[in-house]
Structures are given as structure tokens and as C-alpha cells.
Structure 1
Amino acid sequence: MAFTLPTYVEPDFNRPDLKDAPLALFKPVELPGVAPEGYHATAIFPEYYHLRPGVWKLPRLSRMDCVVVLQENDHLEIKEFRNLAKGDLVACGRREDGEDGIYVHTEPFGGTASEKEKFAFRTRMSRETSFSIDYDELYDLLEHEREHGFICWVLGPAVVFDRDSREAMAKLVKDGYVHGLLAGNALATHDLEGAFYTTALGQEIYTKRSASLGHYHHLDALNRIRALGSMKQAVQSGQVKDGVMKAIIEQNIPYVLAGSIRDDGPMPEVIPSAYDAQDAMRGVVKQATTVIAMATQLHSIAVGNMTPSYTTMKDDSVRPVFFYSVDMSEFVVNKLANRGSLSARSILTNVQDFVVTTARGLDSRRNC
């Protein structure tokens, strides 16, 4: 089954309600970090701004819960509130149907609702939901994105708590299915604990036996890396023999490790400031055409809030950004949608099984 990107359908600006719409109103920022009264907050969908009669402009990059700033040459920049400077011209208006010169395009890729039975079983996703077709569609997508997109993975430490999962994730990196990585201190720490001691939090990642004094292992791993100065130095010196971070560093994949109040150590490359980490994460997410978030509720919601449903390519074409949430908890995947990431697609499963299945499925297709 060949993968094809959904075609972007632009709004019809010749419709009477849009053709006769007023121009968008932009008000200056009076106090740094404070948006003017009546500011317009962005959603995950493409949004057009009526800048001149008959000229509607779509920002190239967007992010939910931000504001739109008009700059020179009709450039529209999406800014977080904290980054607003005095004098910035912020789009204002709460009506999203064009009445304020702002149009939010909620069906950009032809989202027509299919007919449903008045009564049907299993209409809500649960642990009993079948996901065979989801895997097949994901394989098609990843094969396409490997050559034509930017695949960003958001990983929790559970991915490296299992030997096969850890090896499979490293293989996905080496095979070109990972273009960016977002995680916390724990992912890197336990991956390197696995490299040094074949444990995660002191438990053998294959046999699941608790190692003698294993509760020291992640701290010893942190200490060794800090003594060497960086994970990169540890990899280049040959002391790290395997694992996800080794593959990421050797393949020169951009990664961001965001610090947390609960971190041990942390690893030298962890960014301690939440807002610095957020900015660094945004730098990766802006490039993403597919995001796969696994086994980390807080990081998944954070990245979900940064990820719009579309992106604009270099040739000015508009394409969807695919977002997958993978977790064994129904609460986690539903929480993402409840926080505004309405386009997120969910797969309910153990993430270790997911990684192994995905790596094997892609291998099987490539070797056919």
C-alpha cells in the first residue's frame, strides 16, 4: 500500500462571508510579555489573517495557545506570551469565522465525516481496540517520512527498560527513522545504565532479576558520564558500547533532554531551565512532520501543545503533521486530546512491544 499525503484544501475566500470580511486588527504590545486586550489565541489548525483586501495570509509555522505578531513584509510570527516585546503588533479578535478578519480552517485536509450507525458496539477506543491497520498505516507513513519528512520521537524511560525494545529503538535510529529526539534526564540515564551494567533502575533489562546493589547503577552511570564531561565524550571514547543515546550521537541526530525538579545528577547535556528546554524543543518540533510520543505523559502533552496539525514546506505547500500517542494507559492518550491536541492518533499498548513490533514490521517490508 503506497503512502500518499492528504491534499490540502484551501478555504474559499470568494465566499461572500470571507470576501466581505474586515481586515484583521493588530494592536501594539504596551508591556513586555503581556498581550493587548482582545488578543487572538492560536489553535492547532491552519489560521488565515486578512491583511489587505483580498489577501489572506497563513503563518508558516504555528503553535497552540500563542499569539500572532505582524512583522515586516506581511510576515506572521507565532510568539509565546513571554516572548512578546513592547511594540509587537498582535492579532486581536475572538471570532474565528472571518468576522474579525481571522479564519480558522478546521477541515484543511478534506475531513468529511463518514456515516455512522445509530447504534454500534466499540465506538470508543479501549484496550480491546484492534490496531492492526494502525500499524500498517504507520509503516507506510514512516517509510515515506524517512526520505521526505522529519520524524520526531518523544520518549519516556520505559523504552529502554527492556533489552529488545532498547535494541529496536537504537536500530530505528540507525535505519533513518529518527530525525529528532525529545526526552528527559531519565531516558538518557537509564539507557546509559543499560550500556554500563545491563540494568535499568537496578533490574536486569532481559532477565528482570534485581542486581546486587543495583539501586546504585543509575547513579554510577550518571557519575561516570559527569566525570567524562558529556555523553558525547563517553561515546567517542568507546566507553558506551550500545544503546539509544549512542546511536543518536553517532548519527548526529538533534536531541533535547529537558530537566525536571526530580532529576538525579543530571546528565551534563540536560537543560535545567524549563523555558530554555521548551525553546530548544520548539526548535526540533518546528521541523517535525511526524511526532511519535511514547510512555511519557508530561512530555507528550508538552510536545502536543507545541505541535500544530499542519506545516508549510519550503515550496509553500501545506501538509499535515501526524501525531501518534503510544501508551498502555487510556487515561494518558485521552489526556492529550483533552489538552487540545485533537489530531493526535493513539495506540494503546505496552511501548516496549510497540517499538519492537514497529522495528520488525519496517524490517519485514524493506526485506520483501
Structure 2
Amino acid sequence: MFKMPVYHAPDFTREPLASAPNARIARVVRDGVAPEGFHSTSMFPEYVKVDGVWRLAKQSRMDASMVVARDDAGAPFIRVVENRNLKQGDQVVLGRTERGEEGIYLHENGFAVPRDDIEGDDWGAPGDGGELAGEDAFVFRQGRSRETSFARDYDRLYELLRYEREHGKIVWVMGPAFAFNADARYAMQAMVENGYVDGIMAGNALATHDLEGSMFHTALGQDIYTQQPYRNGHYHHLDVINRVRRSGSIEQFVCDYGIRTGIVSACVRNNVPMVLAGSIRDDGPLPEVVGNVYDAQGAMREMVSGATTLICLATTLHTIAAGNMTPSYTVTEDGTVRPVFLYAVDISEFAVNKLLDRGSLAATTIVANVQDFITIVARQLGVI
């Protein structure tokens, strides 16, 4: 059974943290420009000492600044803000060290399982499989490749999704591969309808070709089951885009044409939000697609906020983007610090390892065809 990893906070009563100075702070003098020497965040929990107290940012992300703000009573708290969103007057934390010397402490092992506490079913920190490495200096297959056994990862994922459906927020980051396969569309539709999806982040292509599948049973003019091309099938997705734009929105299109199948229709009918980020190569696009890249990033960041599990599937750039804006932890309403689980699934070893190379270390990566992956997951969860 799933067991939530316990967060072990730093002991700030011990030296050198006990006598560490307050963090240095500088005022922003121009919108979108951080003061020289600003501290840039990681994906891990980071504490800042303000007014003699170590304080944790409740929401974080990689490559942003830490702003010291104060509530109505004057009590300080930490906001993590992308530099482009800094405003004149913001008080930004300065410092390039992370062990307390400058009032900043990065706590990368907060969810690690002490060696004496390891049991066969312990989950451990996100991405570590629940067990610590042995004492051997050399072991085979420490990377993630087509030769890796992913059976344990699948089993853990089933447990996690069952738990998160009741207690968390599950966000899926999806490439268009799902829309090209009838079984994958059906499986993902069932995941939405059975409460395993709290949000979807994707591009114009996923939504367009999924709606094409709903209307014509094709994707890019090929039958989504037999892969046989239709005469003039290359018009299908363009006709869909045109009709959605005529309706004015995806939701209205689903209503106007009585669309009852597919991922997008399931999201509309079950009030599951979608963030569709635009691309310079998009056709149309659909009305809801966010064309400004920074507005799209902001919308993605808002959806990631509060997420407890992200599953990124067959979309390298979206996966890296989501990984960079997703911290390894989140703070719940009752103040509990809990991990954020991040999965990356792709048929390409390069794609999943790229996420790790970018510094998103707390990720579980699986090399698989995502169409097969989602069908397996849906069947094991009993939704199809």
C-alpha cells in the first residue's frame, strides 16, 4: 500500500545554522530586473532566515528569485517569483551559497529514508525508488534505458494514483501521440471520467487531433484504429479547427456537435481544466490555445501550483518546462510538507534522460510507448 514519505525538516538549533545571519535583501528598482547577486531557487526546499527565523517558501520552482513579503500583521513570508515578474519595491533575497552562510539553506534530503528505517515497501524520496543504494562502488544499470525493468515503477504508480485521486492533485502533461491511437484515447478518457485527472497541460496538436478523432475517427487524416488514410483526410483537422473557432470555444463546440468521446470531451464534461500552450508551428489554433509563450508559462505555473503528482508523456519540451517549474515538495493547507511526485514517460531514452540532465532530479523516468503505457495503467486501475 502507498505510504506517504515523511518530511524531515532541518535542525535549526544546531550549528552552524543556529548562528547563521539573516539573509541579505535588496530592493527591486526596475520591473523585471533582479538586484545583482540575487539568489536563484532550485526544485528542493529552501529556507531563508528573516527576522531571526528560518522560513520555507510554500510554493517554489527552479530558476526564480525569492521575495520577502509581509502579511497584514507584518509577519514575513517567502514568495518565489520569476525574475520577469518582479515588481519595483520587491525585497529580493541575495546570496549564492546554500549551506546557511548567507541565511539561505537548501534542504535536498528532506524526504530521504534513514538507512535503519528501510523496509521493502518504503517509498522514500521521489525518484529514488524507495531504497538507498548499497555500499558497492560499481553496480549495473543505474541509468534508465530500454533494458531497465520498470515493473516496480508501474506498481508504485498504481498505488500512488489511487491515493492521489482521494488526497492530491494529479496533472498530466501530454504530447499529441495519444490522439493518434483509439485505445489510448479511450484509456485517457476513462482516466478523466474516473477522477484520475485534475488538469491537463498540452499543446494545440493534442486537442486538435483528439477532437478530430471524435468527429472523424481520424488523426491527420488516418483512421485512429486501422491507420488507413481517408480521401482528403488532411483537411479533417483543419475543418475541426475551423468549426471550433466558429463555435467560439472548445466547450461550445463539444455542445454544438454533441461530442461524447475523447480526452477533450471528457475534460469539458467533467470540468477538468486544460492549459494549451501555443507553438510557432500551430495550425489555427483552437481558441483556447495561449499564443504568448510567457502567458502560457504563467498558466502552466498556476496549474502546477498545488499539484502533488505530475505525469509527463511523450512531449520533450513540455516535460522539461513542467519539470523546471515543479518543486520537489509542496506545503499543504495544514502546514505539512509533502513530496511532489514527477514521472516522465517517453519511448526515447534521450527524452527522459534530458529531464534529469536539466536538473529535475526528483523524477521517475520510464522508457515506454505512451499509448501502451496509458492503456496498461487504465486497465490496472480498473477504469477500462
Tell me how far 1:86 sits from its aligned partner.
Answer: 1.2
SS in 2 for 1:363: coil
Separation (CA, whole Å) in 1 of partners of 2:196 and 2:364: 19
Separation (CA, whole Å) in 2 of partners of 1:20 and 1:241: 62
- Cα-to-partner distance string for 1:97-124 (whole Å, 9 max, x where unaligned): 0000000001011255421433333232
Separation (CA, whole Å) in 1 of partners of 2:102 and 2:183: 54
Matches within 5 A, 1:133-148: 133-148=152-167
Which residues of structure 2 form unaligned runs of 5+?
115-131
Separation (CA, whole Å) in 1 of partners of 2:88 and 2:139: 55
Separation (CA, whole Å) in 2 of partners of 1:150 and 1:231: 23
Structure 1 counterpart of 2:120: none
Structure 1 counterpart of 2:348: 329
Structure 1 counterpart of 2:103: 101
Q: 138, 160, 179: which one pairs with 2:198?
A: 179
Q: Is the 8 A contact 2:144 2:353 kept in 1?
A: no
1:203 counterpart letter in structure 2: Q
RMSD: 1.2
Structure 2 counterpart of 1:41: 40
- Cα-to-partner distance string for 1:143-195 (whole Å, 9 max, x where unaligned): 00000000000000001110000000000000000001100000000000101
Q: 257, 271, 280: which one pairs with 1:261?
A: 280
Query: How many aligned positions are there?
Result: 363
Q: Is the 8 A contact 2:247 2:256 kept in 1?
A: no
Structure 2 counterpart of 1:13: 12
Separation (CA, whole Å) in 2 of partners of 1:237 and 1:111: 53
Identity of aligned residues (%): 53
Separation (CA, whole Å) in 1 of partners of 2:228 and 2:276: 29
- Cα-to-partner distance string for 1:48-105 (whole Å, 9 max, x where unaligned): 011122x100011001100011111212111111111111100001110000000000
TM-score normalised to the size of structure 2? 0.92
SS in 2 for 1:226: helix
Q: Does 1:236 align with 2:255?
A: yes
SS in 1 for 2:381: helix
1:59 counterpart letter in structure 2: A
SS in 2 for 1:152: strand
Separation (CA, whole Å) in 1 of partners of 2:257 and 2:29: 55
Q: Is the 8 A contact 2:345 2:368 kept in 1?
A: yes
Separation (CA, whole Å) in 2 of partners of 1:183 and 1:150: 17
Q: Does 1:224 align with 2:243?
A: yes
Matches within 5 A, 1:140-159: 140-159=159-178
Which residues of structure 1 form unaligned runs of 5+?
none
Structure 1 counterpart of 2:67: 69
Q: Is the 8 A contact 2:28 2:88 kept in 1?
A: yes
TM-score normalised to the size of structure 1? 0.96
Matches within 5 A, 1:311-330: 311-330=330-349
SS in 2 for 1:17: coil
Tell me how far 1:37 sits from its aligned partner.
Answer: 1.0
Tell me how far 1:239 sits from its aligned partner.
Answer: 3.0
Larger CA deviation: 201-210 vs 173-182: 201-210
SS in 1 for 2:276: strand
Tell me how far 1:219 sits from its aligned partner.
Answer: 0.7
Separation (CA, whole Å) in 2 of partners of 1:33 and 1:119: 47
Separation (CA, whole Å) in 2 of partners of 1:348 and 1:27: 45
Structure 2 counterpart of 1:110: 112
Separation (CA, whole Å) in 2 of partners of 1:111 and 1:310: 15
